[in-house]
A and B are shown apart, each in its own frame.
Chain A
Amino acid sequence: MSVFQLPVRAARAHSLRRRCSSPADRRKADLRDLVQAKKRISRMPSSAVALAALCWIGLCGPLGAAGPLAIQGAKIITNSGQILEEGTVLIRDGKIAALGSHVDVPGEAKVINAAGKVVMPGFVDAHNSAGMSQPNERNEVVPFLSVIDSIDPVASYFEECRRNGITTAAVVPGNSTLIGGQAAIVKTAGQYVNDMILRREAGLKLSLRPTSGSRMSQMARLRKELDKAKTALEKDEESGSGTDGEDDDNDSDKDGESDGDGDGSDQKSDDADQSKSDAGESGTGVADDGLDAMKQAVQGKLPVYIYCQTAMDVSAALKLVDDYGLKPILVLGQECHKAAKLLAERGETVILDPTLVYWKTDPRTRKDRKIILPKIYGDAGVPYVFQTADSASRTTLGSSYFWFQAATAVKYGMSQADALAALTLGPAQLLGVDSMIGSIEVGKDADLVILTGEPLDISTWVEYTIVDGEVVYDRSQDEKLDRLLSPTAE
């Protein structure tokens, strides 16, 4: 693997851009492709594969390598504890290469003069289903499905993301399927799904909201599936066959490719990737039943997004987490606030419902009460991040905007710094990708937004959105926005 640590030139060619320039996690996507290459070269030792890959990269690299880009003169909110009143960000090969008040900008660099503007890390949407078509499967247990096959790169969601400064989004199956499949973390710019992927297998989606039958049967079915995975794991251990991520279902390809264990969890999930793609290509016609994903979930290696509709679902979810050793990402419905105290004890960061503020009438006393989620969770000490209202409930005002969610939290008592973190580093940490995104630090992906002013000011707009060092949104070229803001008869 060490060959990947060598500095490589970023290839501008779309399909290669990310492969060549990405560290640790993104290598999973690389490896998957490499595995395919490997299949073609038949059973070549893994070091040779890596070597071949290096040659391949070496060949492709120089093709229109992206030149450096410098953003000068802006106020920089790094979200890693630093605010530069006037600084420069230098981007090279899609990464942040330098940051500071005095940065030497190479002569060949393209310069964006951002004097008077504010630069922030790109926003991170921790949970949405708007980037995919038909987010819910009719079958209730489909852990083998992946949103990758359903992500629509030209969905209006991604366009809105770029317009609103969201550079990374976790695309997660919907809230109406018991085990809804696997989520992926993607960048919001690209034409091919594979160009967008930051993490291919980012988590398994579970929903505790019954879609048919009762909560009892919902829970029983879920436990049955989790037990199945647990039993399979125990069987693996007994027989001593396979390593962590290796799946005994993939009997078609037992060629010792999983020998590389011990390289940390990344490597292990890479193996899972390999075994999966192997199964897919084995030609046996047997579809992956998702057992390996379930096994990884009960090992705590693959996060599980658990949608809780009500407070009782929260306690049920936490029980599941304890019983099966799951690594949860809790996606909360409105009424879950009644479990705020329980959540506070666990210290889990939660994803709030897009409707942060709503009214309720007590059914017994008829007393009207305004429920303010940021205040309730804030007072209870539960860390939280936001979602935006999806396309179905999109509004002109308010909750369709990430910045507005943060402003609302500030209105109800959150500090501005915390609110900005909840748009960036908070979700990046929750998703486990904060080594790559979420703050402006040297070495991280150059995912940035340049704002016209202070981030939570009503008159502030996104001027530029930059993903992996490329400008993917430029307000001066945004004809749709122009149309909305200059209404005339046509």
Chain B
Amino acid sequence: MVSASITRMNSRRGGCGLAIRTASLVALTLMASSAGAQDNGRTLIRAKHIYTVDGGTISPGEVLVKDGKIGFVGEAIELGLPAKVVEVDTLIPGLVNAMSSAGLSGGSAELSREVTPEFNTLSAIDWYSREFAEALDEGVTTLQVLPATESVFSGFACLVKTAGAVDARVLNAENGIVLAVSSDPTSRNRSRSRPDSIYVRQPTNRMGVVWIVRNALHQVSQGDSVLAVDPKTKSILSDLVAGKHPVLSVSRTDFDIRSALDLGDDFGFKPIIYGGDEVYRMLDEFQQRGGQIVFTALTTAASPRGLRGREGTELRWNVPGKLHEMGIDFCLAGRSLLDQARFAVRFGLAPDVALSAVTHAPAKLLRMDDRIGSITVGKDADLVALSGDPLQPTAAIRWTMVSGKIYGNSESK
């Protein structure tokens, strides 16, 4: 039955290409004027190319969206009920940015304490921040928002959509605990200021950072603590040690990455490395230890902090290519995500891997691949329509769909 309908479709396409083009224009216009009315309706997207990411490429193909979910993906569908029809050139899954600080205005690090795992970025998000609009405009549909890394245990990261009703945007309020195994927490502390200053305290160096992690986890694992730890903090850290929370370790240099893995070995958790600029220096070791990485060093605009922060990390272009070669679980993250995927291709990563590295791969690392990251029946209808090959810099984003709703894009002409 499916094949019959394909034949019909094809003959129709061949017959009136111009008509379809006109129709697509009309559809776009309609879409723009009635974007709000789609939430409960059905949308049929006809694309010349559908990059499903986990199920190959369909050219041409159709995607049926109903109730904010993907109802059908294939070459053609026999429509039972009517649906709004939208024609596009290329369709890819919504992008997933695993490392963002979107919506966190006015600082998101607790400066008076170093161990604050009970903090949660969700409580500080400005849902109307421009950063969400920018992310949506870049084709990003899901963001993991991390607290800033000036505290050693910085708090919980949350996973949110870039658009939609606020309560529906939260995918996971506690998506993992952020640990700063890097020199970030030392940035405000110093040993030589006035003795009564709150800045006279640990850590003032990397050793201090690692010690604080060890000390906190040691106290928790010992049961009763010599130093008082807040009961809430203690229960969260106990859960962390018991493997109930993913650990997101923000580490950029090779020695910081190694420290994070060592801490994980000692206390029985498996950190996912965030940042990882210098992972190329220890690829064999990283692979052998089963490391996973959210790589943010491809853009100097990576957030939080840049590629060349105080750590003066060396610039390397084809780290993603190497990570893939070694079979290491990785994804790309940070700003300009689609451009990152494009440049990763330029620097040597295979195109299909690059596209996955900004969609399916981050979804998996965020343990949310049952809902997002690919164009698969049953997943959220988070989609990006483009004017051409998504990995070419000349391709413009036409619109972004989040949970079935289409948002127009500034890139459409």
Q: With A and B bound together, what is the CA distance between A487 and B295 in angstroms?
A: 14
- Residues on A with C-beta less than 8 A from B336 are 397-398
A459-B345, A485-B347 given; 17 more Cβ-contact pairs under 8 Å: A368-B134, A370-B134, A370-B410, A372-B411, A396-B299, A397-B336, A397-B343, A407-B393, A408-B393, A411-B395, A456-B394, A457-B392, A458-B346, A459-B346, A485-B317, A486-B318, A487-B317
The answer to whether the Cβ of A395 comes within 8 Å of any Cβ in the partner chain is: yes
Contact of A487 among B299, B301, B319, B346 (CB under 8 A): B319
The answer to whether the Cβ of A260 comes within 8 Å of any Cβ in the partner chain is: no
Contact of B130 among A359, A413, A456, A488 (CB under 8 A): A359
Q: With A and B bound together, what is the CA distance between A397 and B345 in angstroms?
A: 12
Q: Are B393 and A411 in contact (CB under 8 A)?
A: yes
6 contacts between A and B (CB under 8 A): A359-B134, A370-B410, A394-B300, A457-B392, A458-B392, A488-B322
- Residues on B with C-beta less than 8 A from A396 are 298-300, 307, 315, 317, 343
Contact of B282 among A372, A410, A416, A489 (CB under 8 A): A489
Q: Are A411 and B394 in contact (CB under 8 A)?
A: yes
Q: Are B411 and A489 in contact (CB under 8 A)?
A: no
- Residues on A with C-beta less than 8 A from B340 are 397
Whole-angstrom distance from the CB of B191 to the nearest CB of chain A? Answer: 33
Whole-angstrom distance from the CB of A357 to the nearest CB of chain B? Answer: 9
- Residues on B with C-beta less than 8 A from A412 are 396, 411, 413
Whole-angstrom distance from the CB of A442 to the nearest CB of chain B? Answer: 31
The answer to whether the Cβ of A361 comes within 8 Å of any Cβ in the partner chain is: yes
Q: Could you mark each residue 388-405 of chain A with 1 if its beta carbon is under 8 Å from any beta carbon of chain B, else 0?
A: 000000111110000010
Q: With A and B bound together, what is the CA distance between A299 and B308 in angstroms?
A: 48
The answer to whether the Cβ of A59 comes within 8 Å of any Cβ in the partner chain is: no
Q: Are A484 and B318 in contact (CB under 8 A)?
A: yes
Q: List B residues at the A interface (Cβ < 8 Å).
A: 130, 133-134, 137, 254, 280-283, 298-301, 307, 315-319, 321-322, 336, 339-340, 342-343, 345-348, 391-396, 410-411, 413
Contacts A396-B307, A484-B317; A458 near B343 (Cβ below 8 A): yes
Q: With A and B bound together, what is the CA distance between A487 and B317 in angstroms?
A: 7
Closest to A395 in B: B300
Q: With A and B bound together, what is the CA distance between A485 and B391 in angstroms?
A: 19
Q: With A and B bound together, what is the CA distance between A410 and B346 in angstroms?
A: 19
- Residues on B with C-beta less than 8 A from A375 are 413
Closest to B133 in A: A368
Q: With A and B bound together, what is the CA distance between A184 and B339 in angstroms?
A: 34
Contact of B411 among A395, A411, A484 (CB under 8 A): A411
Most buried by B among A416, A458, A459, A489: A458
Q: With A and B bound together, what is the CA distance between A484 and B336 in angstroms?
A: 20
Q: Could you mark each residue 367-381 of chain A with 1 if its beta carbon is under 8 Å from any beta carbon of chain B, else 0?
A: 010101001000000
Whole-angstrom distance from the CB of B75 to the nearest CB of chain A? Answer: 28
Whole-angstrom distance from the CB of A217 to the nearest CB of chain B? Answer: 35
Q: Are B280 and A488 in contact (CB under 8 A)?
A: yes
- Residues on A with C-beta less than 8 A from B307 are 396
For chain A, residues 442 to 481, give those with C-beta under 8 angstroms from any C-beta of chain B.
Answer: 456-459
- Residues on A with C-beta less than 8 A from B319 are 487
Q: Are A361 and B348 in contact (CB under 8 A)?
A: no
Whole-angstrom distance from the CB of A77 to the nearest CB of chain B? Answer: 16
Q: Are B280 and A487 in contact (CB under 8 A)?
A: yes
Whole-angstrom distance from the CB of A381 to the nearest CB of chain B? Answer: 16
- Residues on A with C-beta less than 8 A from B394 are 407, 410-411, 416, 456
Q: With A and B bound together, what is the CA distance between A485 and B317 in angstroms?
A: 5
Contact of A368 among B130, B391, B395 (CB under 8 A): B130
- Residues on B with C-beta less than 8 A from A361 are 130
- Residues on A with C-beta less than 8 A from B391 are 458
Q: With A and B bound together, what is the CA distance between A116 and B285 in angstroms?
A: 41
Contact of B322 among A359, A395, A410, A487 (CB under 8 A): A487
Q: Are A411 and B396 in contact (CB under 8 A)?
A: yes
Whole-angstrom distance from the CB of A355 to the nearest CB of chain B? Answer: 11
- Residues on A with C-beta less than 8 A from B345 are 458-459
Whole-angstrom distance from the CB of B357 to the nearest CB of chain A? Answer: 14
Q: With A and B bound together, what is the CA distance between A458 and B348 in angstroms?
A: 11
- Residues on A with C-beta less than 8 A from B316 are 484, 487
- Residues on B with C-beta less than 8 A from A407 are 392-394
Q: Are A458 and B315 in contact (CB under 8 A)?
A: no
Q: With A and B bound together, what is the CA distance between A488 and B395 in angstroms?
A: 32
Contacts A359-B134, A397-B298, A487-B280; A456 near B393 (Cβ below 8 A): yes
Q: Are B282 and A413 in contact (CB under 8 A)?
A: no
Q: With A and B bound together, what is the CA distance between A370 and B134 in angstroms?
A: 8
Contact of A398 among B280, B339, B411 (CB under 8 A): B339
Q: With A and B bound together, what is the CA distance between A410 and B342 in angstroms?
A: 16
Q: Are A485 and B395 in contact (CB under 8 A)?
A: no
Whole-angstrom distance from the CB of B174 to the nearest CB of chain A? Answer: 29
